[in-house]
């Protein structure tokens, strides 16, 4: 790189070459923090000569968004830098050799400056054109023109008058060579009874509108790809873009303990699912557990920046509680297998129990049919499950494409869906009790037989649909990781994983239907089926009562009127079965009475008194601790609450739960209410935080995505050592697993 001699000076200012040599030396020595000190020292030496040279490449101007302001206002200030062609100044992290631009304020009493708000920078590549083999230097900075914003807060007791706003700015401008610059800036602000906008207000507000956005909407994730090799380790950073994007990048913040290189390797460089690799270099201490900076992507011709702070997953743990590391990247076939196994396990989860009763009755009836008919019904049931999961996957893909945050079981947070499902479940329970029949005429046993033979295909398909709807309120071991993986992937992966869950859910019945000889072990059809069918109505009714309870968060005391609606509807079902289906006289009059009852149930109970179209929009704080396990002082979850507790060297346990999640309330909550566990938690002073996902708040959706989960339950244990990552516990939780995790978190 050629030297740039300044007129009237005896100093050759080739700062890039000089700094590059020292930068590499100090970085290899593991003392990154000394680099900036070295550069500042060099700049201090050069400043007198540069001042004598009187070379100006950058012009700085102080702007205010108001000429007059009221006490208590916040006035937006901006320092506008205008660089000559080819020159650039630096971002808060130069990325390589360079210095961040600084503003040092000298403000009157009662005026406080906030932090600099940095626009999205760009990359500058500097290379020695005379030596193509020389290493390229990549920096983050701004060319042509940039305005750095700073909010100025005015005290509420400021007296009327004129204030002098002063500040000194320091920068390093580079092209082939580098020239440091400095300038004293000042302007006036009048404290008055009204605020008056300045001529620069619109320009400053436009700059503010273009600042990097919060990156939570991207559901960004960071995870170690593999173990370290010496002092380097590959880090994967990925996120979801609501629209197709390209040229993804990550501009990391500076750290004294590790370097995030400016060089980026693209893993998936376009589309809605973006992923890149950074080779992190550690200089001292442990490997980082968190990384911050800017996510960059290009949408059309627009460069978009997003501020993020990411917990780094993928750290190995010896705890048996962390059975499957949710943040580790595996082959897609690993998640396909987990999806199938998770769907298979769903069959024994409490949410699907009512459907099992229907299938047992179906198999007993099918035992007398031909093998071909049995296989046909098994395939139709499987088709019902797969079609349902396909529709669900497509709905999720569509919602994600529109920028919505969705998760497994999201439909149970919708009160209208819960109303429809509860009504359907109660009607099915009444049918199992024999109150009315699905097929007209005959006894309950005859109706079941007719449904199995004449309209068995429709019944089998409905059972598949119904099983899917109920199953999505539950999670199962290994299912959470597979679904979380799918939600972070392109649409075709989401569809594939969901279909595999459906195939796992349907597989026991599909296998039995193709092995009709196994059906001989079932009892023969008889009068016992009538009693068994009625007995199975009770778990179905229990499912209805459980879903009705979900509505209390949406309607409060008005939920009582939904119970009245179900009571009148049940009366109508009884009249229909007793006087229309099984009656002999005045069937038409009975049918009219049934229709009147249904109309009264809807208009009087649902529409007028319950006002089902207008659910309560209660704040999350009103429900966030209702679902906490008993006998321990739980607090509401937030990222700040976790950070605060970890800063105080506390062990933190976080329970991600929801009122509509049966696994959360029957398996996880039972484990967390174990006496031995509660005693141990009190001994250790564990900070217990509840993340209530009943209303699917976006902050919890994002946190679940950070741990590659698409739904609840999820239980995390953060060790006392704040540098260690969270221990992720499995969905099929036991108190022993939590105790093991607490033991590891204590060490």
CATH code of the domain occupying 214-313:
2.60.40
pLDDT value at residue 527: 74
The more confidently predicted of residues 227 and 315 is 227
324 C-beta neighbours (distance < 10 Å), count: 15
pLDDT value at residue 91: 95
Mean pLDDT is lowest, of 133-147, 346-360, 483-497, 588-602, for: 346-360
Distance CA 88, CA 175 (A): 7
Residues 502/394, Cβ–Cβ less than 8 Å? no
**CA-closest candidate to residue 62, choices 207, 200, 195:** 200
pLDDT tens digit sequence for 381-432: 888 889 988 998 888 888 877 766 677 777 778 889 889 989 988 988 898 8
Q: Average the pLDDT over 294-304 and give the result.
A: 91
3-class secondary structure for 355-396? HHHHHHHHHHHHCCCCHHHHHHHHHHHHHHHHHHHHHHHHHH
Residues 547/421, Cβ–Cβ less than 8 Å? yes
pLDDT at 38 over 70: no
- CATH homologous superfamily of 15-211 equals Thiol:disulfide interchange protein DsbD, N-terminal domain (2.60.40.1250)
pLDDT value at residue 249: 95
pLDDT tens digit sequence for 208-226: 989 999 888 788 899 888 8
Distance CA 107, CA 703 (A): 40
Give the tokens for residue 282: 């550690």
What are the two backbone dihedrals, phi and then psi, of residue 25, each rounded to the nearest 5 degrees? Answer: -65, -50
pLDDT at 9 over 50: no
**CA-closest candidate to residue 204, choices 146, 155, 153:** 146
730 alpha carbon, distance to own chain's centre: 18
Percent of the chain predicted with pLDDT > 70: 80
Confidence of residue 454 (pLDDT cuts 50, 70, 90): very low
pLDDT value at residue 76: 95
Percent of the chain predicted with pLDDT > 90: 40
Distance CA 351, CA 364 (A): 22
pLDDT value at residue 453: 36
pLDDT at 685 over 90: yes
pLDDT at 593 over 90: yes
Residues 656/704, Cβ–Cβ less than 8 Å? yes
pLDDT value at residue 130: 59
pLDDT at 618 over 60: no
Per-residue buried b or exposed e for 261-296, using 16+ beta carbons within 10 Å of the residue's own CB: ebebeeeebebbbbbbbbbbbbbeeebbbebebbbb
What are the two backbone dihedrals, phi and then psi, of residue 445, each rounded to the nearest 5 degrees? Answer: -65, -40
**In terms of DSSP bridges, do strands 74-83 and 145-154 run parallel, antiparallel, or are they unpaired?**
antiparallel
Q: Average the pLDDT over 599-624 and give the result.
A: 78
Confidence of residue 450 (pLDDT cuts 50, 70, 90): very low
Per-residue buried b or exposed e for 331-349, using 16+ beta carbons within 10 Å of the residue's own CB: eeebbbbbbbbbbbbbbeb
pLDDT tens digit sequence for 475-525: 666 777 788 778 777 888 889 999 999 999 888 888 877 876 666 666 666
Collapsing DSSP states into helix, strand and coil, what is residue 161?
strand
The more confidently predicted of residues 323 and 523 is 523
Distance CA 23, CA 16 (A): 10
pLDDT value at residue 452: 36
Residue 169: is the preceding peptide bond cis (ω within 30°)?
A: no
pLDDT value at residue 197: 94
Residues 116/149, Cβ–Cβ less than 8 Å? yes
Distance CA 581, CA 394 (A): 40
CATH code of the domain occupying 620-746:
3.40.30.10
Give the tokens for residue 394: 């497509």
Domain ranges of the chain: 15-211, 214-313, 332-545, 551-617, 620-746
Mean pLDDT is lowest, of 91-100, 327-336, 568-577, for: 327-336
Confidence of residue 682 (pLDDT cuts 50, 70, 90): very high
Ramachandran sector of residue 230 (left: φ over 0; alpha: ψ -120 to 50; beta: rest): left
Mean pLDDT, the chain, rounded, equals 81
Collapsing DSSP states into helix, strand and coil, what is residue 297?
strand
**CA-closest candidate to residue 128, choices 55, 177, 86:** 177
pLDDT value at residue 366: 61
Confidence of residue 620 (pLDDT cuts 50, 70, 90): very low
Confidence of residue 359 (pLDDT cuts 50, 70, 90): low
Confidence of residue 79 (pLDDT cuts 50, 70, 90): very high
Give the tokens for residue 56: 């100006």
Domains 15-211 and 620-746 share a fold: no
Confidence of residue 368 (pLDDT cuts 50, 70, 90): low
The more confidently predicted of residues 171 and 513 is 171
Q: Average the pLDDT over 98-116 and give the result.
A: 93
pLDDT value at residue 133: 62
Q: Please compute, for residue 738, the number of CA atoms within 13 A of its CA located in the half-sphere on the CB side.
A: 30
Q: Which residues contact 61 (CB under 8 A, 6 or more apart)?
A: 79, 80, 82, 185
Q: 123 has which bridge partners?
A: 140
Distance CA 265, CA 236 (A): 10
Say which residue the tokens 């900070």 belong to.
687
Q: Which residues contact 702 (CB under 8 A, 6 or more apart)?
A: 216, 219, 405
Residues 185/60, Cβ–Cβ less than 8 Å? yes
The more confidently predicted of residues 349 and 186 is 186
Distance CA 320, CA 324 (A): 9
Q: Average the pLDDT over 148-170 and give the result.
A: 94
The more confidently predicted of residues 604 and 442 is 604
Residues 335/481, Cβ–Cβ less than 8 Å? yes
pLDDT at 47 over 50: no
């Amino acid at each position: 790189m050629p030297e740039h001699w300044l007129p009237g000076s005896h100093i050759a200012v080739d700062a890039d070459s000089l700094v590059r040599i020292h930068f590499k030396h100090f970085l290899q020595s593991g003392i990154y923090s000394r680099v900036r000190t070295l550069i500042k020292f060099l700049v201090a030496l050069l400043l007198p000569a540069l001042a004598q040279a009187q070379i100006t490449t950058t012009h700085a101007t102080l702007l205010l968004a108001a000429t007059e302001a009221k006490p208590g206002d916040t006035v937006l200030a901006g320092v506008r830098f205008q660089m000559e062609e080819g020159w650039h100044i630096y971002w808060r992290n130069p990325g390589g050799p360079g210095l961040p631009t600084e503003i040092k304020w000298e403000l009157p009493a009662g005026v406080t400056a906030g932090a600099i708000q940095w626009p999205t920078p760009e990359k500058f590549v500097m290379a020695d054109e005379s030596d193509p083999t020389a290493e390229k230097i990549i920096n983050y900075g701004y060319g042509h023109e940039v305005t750095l914003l700073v909010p100025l807060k005015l005290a509420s007791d400021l007296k009327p008058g004129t204030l002098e706003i002063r500040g000194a700015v320091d920068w390093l401008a580079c092209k082939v060579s580098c020239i440091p610059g400095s300038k004293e800036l000042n302007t006036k602000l009048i404290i008055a009874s009204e605020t008056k906008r300045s001529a620069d207000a619109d320009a400053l507000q436009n700059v503010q509108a273009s600042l990097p956005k919060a990156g939570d909407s991207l559901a960004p994730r960071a995870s170690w790809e593999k173990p370290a090799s010496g002092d380097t380790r590959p880090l994967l950073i990925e996120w979801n873009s609501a629209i197709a994007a390209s040229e993804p990048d990550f501009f990391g913040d500076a750290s004294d303990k590790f370097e995030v290189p400016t060089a980026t390797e693209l893993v998936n460089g376009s589309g809605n699912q973006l992923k890149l690799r950074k080779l992190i270099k550690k200089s001292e201490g442990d490997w980082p557990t968190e990384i911050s900076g800017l996510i960059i992507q290009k949408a059309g011709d627009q460069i978009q920046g997003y501020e993020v702070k990411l917990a780094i997953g993928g750290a190995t743990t010896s705890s048996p509680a962390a059975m499957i590391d949710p943040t580790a990247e595996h082959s897609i076939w690993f998640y396909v297998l987990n999806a199938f196994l998770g769907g298979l396990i769903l069959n024994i989860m409490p949410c699907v129990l009512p459907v099992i009763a229907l299938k047992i009755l179906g198999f007993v009836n099918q035992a007398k049919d031909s093998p071909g008919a049995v296989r046909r019904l098994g395939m139709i049931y499987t088709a019902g499950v797969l079609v349902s999961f396909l529709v669900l996957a497509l709905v999720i893909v569509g919602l994600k494409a529109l920028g919505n945050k969705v998760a497994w079981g999201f439909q149970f947070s919708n009160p209208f869906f819960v109303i429809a499902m509860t009504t359907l479940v109660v009607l099915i329970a009444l049918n199992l009790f024999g109150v009315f029949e699905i097929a007209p005429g005959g006894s309950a046993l005859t109706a079941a037989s007719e449904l199995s033979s004449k309209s068995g295909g429709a019944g089998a398909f409905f059972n598949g649909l119904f099983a899917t709807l109920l199953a999505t309120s539950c999670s199962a071991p290994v299912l959470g990781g597979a679904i979380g993986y799918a939600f972070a992937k392109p649409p075709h992966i989401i569809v594939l994983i969901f279909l595999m869950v459906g195939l796992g859910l349907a597989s026991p019945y599909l296998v039995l239907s193709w092995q009709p000889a196994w059906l001989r072990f079932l009892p023969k059809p008889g009068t016992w089926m009538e009693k068994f069918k009625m007995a199975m109505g009770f778990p179905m009714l229990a499912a209805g009562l459980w879903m009705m309870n979900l509505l209390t968060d949406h309607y409060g005391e008005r939920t009582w009127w939904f119970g009245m609606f179900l009571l009148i509807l049940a009366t109508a079902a009884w009249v229909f079965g007793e006087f229309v289906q099984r009656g002999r006289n005045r069937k038409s009059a009975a049918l009219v009475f049934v229709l009147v009852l249904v109309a009264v149930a809807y208009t009087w109970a649902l529409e007028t008194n319950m006002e089902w179209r207008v659910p309560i929009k209660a704040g999350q704080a009103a429900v966030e601790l209702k679902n906490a396990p008993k006998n321990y002082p739980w607090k509401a979850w937030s990222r700040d609450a976790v950070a605060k507790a970890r800063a105080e060297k506390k062990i933190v346990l976080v329970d991600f739960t929801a009122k509509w999640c049966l696994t959360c309330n029957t398996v996880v909550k039972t484990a967390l209410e174990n006496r031995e566990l509660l005693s141990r938690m009190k001994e250790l002073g564990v900070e217990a935080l509840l993340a209530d996902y009943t209303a699917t708040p976006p902050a919890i959706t994002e946190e679940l995505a950070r741990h590659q989960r698409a739904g609840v339950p999820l239980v995390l244990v953060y060790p006392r050592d704040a540098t260690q990552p969270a221990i992720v516990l499995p969905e099929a939780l036991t108190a022993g697993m939590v105790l093991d995790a607490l033991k590891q978190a204590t060490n």
